[in-house]
Amino acid sequence: MVMRDERKPNVVVIGGGTGMPVLIRGLKDYPLSVSAIVTVADDGGSSGRLRSEMAIPAPGDIRNVIAAMSDAEPMILKMFQHRFENGNSLSGHSLGNLLLAAMTSITGDFYKGIKEISRVLNVKGSIYPIANQNMYLHAEMEDGTIISGESKIPLVNKPIKRVFLSPDHIEPLPEAVDAIKAADLIVIAPGSLYTSILPNIIIPEIGEALKKRVGKMVYVCNVMTQDGETQGFTAADHVQAIHDHVGKSCVDSIVVHNAPIEHDVQKLYEEENAKPVVYDTQRLLEMGLEIIEGDIIDHSKVKLRHDTDKIAKLLYSLMENK
């Protein structure tokens, strides 16, 4: 059972991929009780090899969130995130993934392993895998074909109709459900819409908990479209996909980037068939959404990323204004 912290507002962040750690890294320094609910459907790279060989949930996204929420010494975190590049069977594995696999073997339970690693690395907050079991992501394309495997879905480059999981009944981690029920604010992190975000919220018990939530639910919209997933998507299209999978009125507010993106950066993304996400104000308002806009990207980086400090300050202001 997740206990409400009467002194600090409870914030739950849901997601995976590269966007979630950026967001959480800033939130952990505010007077908030932060919980992260993280996808474990990845089947590529080191995560895919470990889940296949050891029959454990994918550790990669969990590892990145642990690093983001940790207050350990920088060199310890650098070691935790280190990826072996040369030589033998270790090639491609990150040390953090191997440690999570080892701790799962020692404790006999993936979630217990996460808690032990979190304790050792002085994690500020709680980290919950969406499920404590192996699960697989599938997509039904608009043409009716079924693609299996999180890493394979974007490669097909076809419009996606829906995503679903196997086995048929995924048992979500009870602590994750309790965290949603106790949340004052629920944040859907930026990230790959169909392969990092939706795998968390299409589990029926999670979807039901979100519908019955007490706290506000905010979606931090992606800044750029993603080839193979959201080509041509507007901000409203992103929200519509969430509603199609979980139910209408699931999202209360949307955070969008409203400043120009440098021409050179756009040209770089054009090589990946990605363009800035247009936020279609009228349609968002017709969907009943509160629009929260601002310059929320880190302009110091070539690769577009949400700015850790800007987005954390913005989200914390939502709690202050309650």
Q: What is the pLDDT of residues 106-135, one digit of tens each?
A: 999 999 999 999 999 999 999 999 999 989
Q: How far apart (Å, rounded) are the C-alpha atoms in residues 56 and 43? A: 11
Residue-wise burial string across 267-304, b where 16 or more C-beta atoms lie within 10 A, e elsewhere: eebeeeebbbbebeeeebeebebeebbeebbeeeeeeb
Q: How far apart (Å, rounded) are the C-alpha atoms in residues 66 and 77? A: 9
What percent of the chain stands above pLDDT 70? 97
Walk me through the domains of the chain, giving residue ranges and CATH numbers.
Answer: 10-39+130-320 (3.40.50.10680), 43-124 (no CATH)
pLDDT for residue 237: 97
Q: Which residue has the higher pLDDT, 260 or 88?
A: 260
Average pLDDT over residues 270-291: 94
pLDDT in tens, 206-232: 999 999 999 999 999 999 999 999 999
User: How high does pLDDT run on average in the chain?
Assistant: 91
Average pLDDT over residues 280-307: 91
pLDDT in tens, 141-159: 999 999 999 999 999 999 9
Q: How far apart (Å, rounded) are the C-alpha atoms in residues 132 and 100? A: 13
pLDDT for residue 304: 85
The answer to whether 185 and 218 have CB atoms below 8 angstroms apart is yes
pLDDT in tens, 54-82: 888 989 999 999 999 999 999 999 999 99
Question: What size, in residues, is the chain?
Answer: 322
Q: How far apart (Å, rounded) are the C-alpha atoms in residues 39 and 13? A: 11
Q: Which residue has the higher pLDDT, 192 or 301?
A: 192
Q: Over 70: is that where the pLDDT of 2 sits?
A: no
pLDDT for residue 87: 64
* pLDDT confidence tier of residue 5, bands split at 50, 70 and 90: very low
Average pLDDT over residues 281-309: 91
